[in-house]
Amino acid sequence: MKKIGVFTSGGDAPGMNACLRAVVRTALHHGLEVVGIRRGYQGLIEDDMYDMHANDVSNIIQLGGTILRSARSEEFRTPEGRRKAYDNIQKHGIEGIVAIGGDGTFRGALAFTAEYPDVRMVGCPGTIDNDLIGTDYTIGYDTAINTAMQAIDNIKDTANAHDRLFFVEVMGRDAGFIALRAGIATGAEAVLVPEFKTDINELIDTLEQGYVSKKNSSIVVVAEGDDMGGAIEIANQVKQRFQHYEIKVSILGHIQRGGRPTCMERFRASQMGLAAVQALMEGHRSIMIGIVHGEIARTPFDQAVKHHQEINPRLLEMVKILS
């Protein structure tokens, strides 16, 4: 192997730049050429690529976002789009690609390598949702939960000052990992996640108990994919039956995607980037690099995209006990 490509795809996540830096530096260390592909699969189709050198990834490890930028490509979903991408890969002499992204990125890689098995693809899990099988932590998750925690801490200050009940919505359309850990870390009275049906009566009982015990304020953390429609809808229902508190809603939104990656984020992303290049050099293909129990793990794409990590119900019980 003489030349590899690398791109970031799907939703951006803090730590992607750290992973990219590790890919480039590891490849150069082993005498490989590296091609940076802008805007993910769309960049492959449009031939938006450039040769990367060590100084191209200098001073980026601390940056959020991705210097290669990201995009979603409808054209890549078609055989014609994938053919354009393959032709450009051949044009540049790229033999293997490190794809940094999430579920959609790996589904695209599966479709592509099924048609063009001569191109090796290895993935690094870049998504704040932490919902992929094959790794304990995805790139972006640790930073996202710390961002959410800090925001909820700030909200709690004003909630205490005014005896308010706050519903705080965090990201998590299909997975409640951000909500769960940020909720536990901030002492939330309740955490509502997509994986479990919300019981509005149980939530009311929990809030009533807090009121009776004379809590100054209450915080309920809601994942955006909660089955009742998110924080605004739940707050409206609670307001009809629970009028003791002034009720407010805060939606954290995309602040969870940005910001400087945490120390552990940079460390894990660097581990994964290095391992991805090593896997390509060893001849591996169609696998995702992860970290399980502190060790590098390799999971086939078809397993990583078919299964998702499950919420541990004991952690939800922990919320109830500690609230």
The DSSP output letter for 174 is: S
**CB of 218 closer than 8 Å to CB of 183:** no
129 is catalytic: yes
The DSSP output letter for 136 is: S
Rounded distance, CA 320 to CA 268, Å? 31
Q: Please identify which of the residues 12, 129, 131, 142 carries the catalytic annotation.
A: 129
Rounded distance, CA 227 to CA 210, Å? 24
Question: Three-state DSSP class for 300?
Answer: strand
H-helix or E-strand spanning residue 78: none
Q: How many CA atoms lie within 13 A of 282 on its CB side?
A: 11
263-281 vs 16-29: helix axis angle to the nearest 10?
40
The DSSP output letter for 205 is: H
- Catalytically active residues are 129
